[in-house]
Amino acid sequence: MDVRQSPDWKRLEEEALSLFVRLLRADTRNPPGNESRAVALVREELEKCGLEPRVLEKVPGRSNLVLRLPGVGTGPSLLLDSHVDVVGVREEEWTVPPFAGQTRDGCIWGRGALDMKHMTAMSTATVIALHRLGVRLTGDLVLAVTADEEDGGGAGVQFLCQEHKDLVRADYALGEVGGFSIQVGSQRLYPVQVGEKGACRVTVELAGVGGHGSVPNPDSVPLVLGKILERLSRLRFPIVPHPAARAFLDSLAQASPLPQKLALKCLGSGILSSFLLDHVVPVDRRHRLRATLSNTCQPTMVEAGERSNVIPTRGTIELDCRILPGVDPREMAAEVQKTIGTLGKATLRMGWRGHAAPLENPLLEQIRRTIQVMDPGAVVTPYLMPAFTNGGIYRATGVVGNYMGFTPVLMPPSLDYLSLFHAPDERCPVQGFCWGVRTLFEVVRSFLEAR
């Protein structure tokens, strides 16, 4: 019989919601960041409960907060990771002011509502609840609230892993992106990010003969840039489903009617994958699936020229390339060079490999058990995320053994949360958030509590 004391759920949800709203009202657009204003809110909540977090800065105003609740050393340690910097906004594109933290239509609206100040509030509430209850932990519980994730983490997780490694070291970590429910037919799924693609930034440079804009030059830099972009637009990489991607597609297939079921199973197995993506899968899903199943290379910035009447002598293209776990960033740079041939020079500016946790591990099993209690009949499925998070840095530095994305929110079926990341009108459902507060607490407590 389970006689564990439960938190005062009403109080905990109200406190978490209050912190969430205040975090959204803190303008932490990166650049410049100014994460200190959000970190101060978390610090205040923790200190009110008698806890003593540490605030660390590499750059003034770019604050990171770390708190470690010690365990007795008989079990694994767990890190709850979140970042409080957010991407920029065009305020005229928003239905509500993006930093007002308004509640409307059953949702809390604001930049960072899903990416990922909701996790900061839920993680803080979980730590506070465990402390109040005096729960005895087998392993340490670490809370990390970080800066600068949206711009590579130099002032955030990279700084912590390089200069304060022991403060954030853990066997397991929960961070972004995962735990948001999706509805497939009558089945509710909870994807848990168990792996991330790696990333590399490649710069293509070219030089040419300049001159006056009135004299045509068919080999001018701008026209050659166009030829390079056209070649890159035709660049296709083999479909190589990672085990986490196959597991996700299999879960989707199980919940889908027959035609879609067969297509998803073929995608997961690699059979006719390219044909299916190009000719069968709906356009609105095609590119997301390709990003999960293969390497990708996307031009993001093109620069050439300073005046409209001068043919420039130099030009550059910046490429955002994402690579499956196991692929070396240098391989991608070489593929780009092969594609563009002698038209330009491709240089790898920065890059890191992808990573993945085992598909069978005790934390993922605990998430499954908890979801069965919190949402009976729902299915937890691993998946591979095409983007990157702090997890890549934690794993690459050896600070965290297994990093998974799980920031649980019960989503209404009508809300396409993926389309809201980095987009106008980002929002999080109030009831789904409160459900997430309880769910995250139960996962952490069950995983770490000494019996």
Q: Does the structure show a pLDDT above 90 at 271?
A: no
d(CA 161, CA 347): 27
For residue range 180-199, list pLDDT tens digits in order.
Answer: 999 998 999 999 999 999 99
Q: What angle do CA 267, 268, 271 make, to 5 degrees?
A: 50
Domain with CATH 3.40.630.10 in the chain: 9-192+358-448
For residue range 423-446, list pLDDT tens digits in order.
Answer: 999 999 999 999 999 999 999 999
397 secondary structure, DSSP code: T
The pair of structure tokens assigned to 199 is: 């990333």
Rg from Cα positions in the chain: 23
Task: Name the nearest CA neighbour of 406 among 168, 124, 194, 189.
Answer: 194
Q: Which CATH number fits domain 9-192+358-448: 3.40.630.10, 3.40.50.1380, 2.60.40.10, 3.90.1660.10?
A: 3.40.630.10
pTM of the full structure = 0.90
414 secondary structure, DSSP code: T
pLDDT at 152: 85
pLDDT higher at 290 or 14: 14
d(CA 281, CA 129): 45
Task: Name the nearest CA neighbour of 195 among 178, 215, 170.
Answer: 178
Q: Where are the alpha helices (DSSP H) in 270-328?
A: 273-279, 283-293
pLDDT at 3: 58
Task: Name the nearest CA neighbour of 343 among 215, 219, 234.
Answer: 219
d(CA 207, CA 156): 37
pLDDT at 1: 35
153-176 burial: b if 16+ Cβ within 10 Å, else e? bebbbbbbbeebeebbbbbbbbbb
Whether the CB-CB separation of 329 and 197 falls below 8 Å is answered with no
For residue range 214-263, list pLDDT tens digits in order.
Answer: 998 999 999 999 999 999 999 989 988 899 999 998 998 888 888 788 88
Whether the CB-CB separation of 273 and 266 falls below 8 Å is answered with yes
Q: Where are the alpha helices (DSSP H) in 63-212?
A: 117-133, 157-163, 165-168
d(CA 320, CA 197): 12
* Packing angle, helices 243-254 and 283-293, rounded to 10: 150
Whether the CB-CB separation of 159 and 369 falls below 8 Å is answered with no
- What is the assigned CATH class of domain 198-352? alpha beta
Query: What residue type is 444 in one-letter code?
Result: V
Domain with CATH 3.30.70.360 in the chain: 198-352
Task: List strands edge to edge, sheet with 107-109.
Answer: 103-104, 107-109, 427-429
Q: Pairing between strand 78-83 and 141-146?
A: parallel
Largest CA distance in the chain: 87
pLDDT at 444: 98
Across 59-68, 287-296, 399-408, 437-446, least confident range: 287-296
Q: Residue 374: in which H helix or E strand, if any?
A: helix 362-374
Q: Does the structure show a pLDDT above 70 at 298?
A: yes
Q: What angle do CA 340, 342, 345 make, to 5 degrees?
A: 70
Mean pLDDT of the residues in the chain: 94
CA distances from 76 to 115, 141, 241, 363, 444 (A): 27, 9, 30, 10, 12
d(CA 330, CA 314): 24
Whether the CB-CB separation of 446 and 370 falls below 8 Å is answered with yes
Query: What residue type is 369 in one-letter code?
Result: R
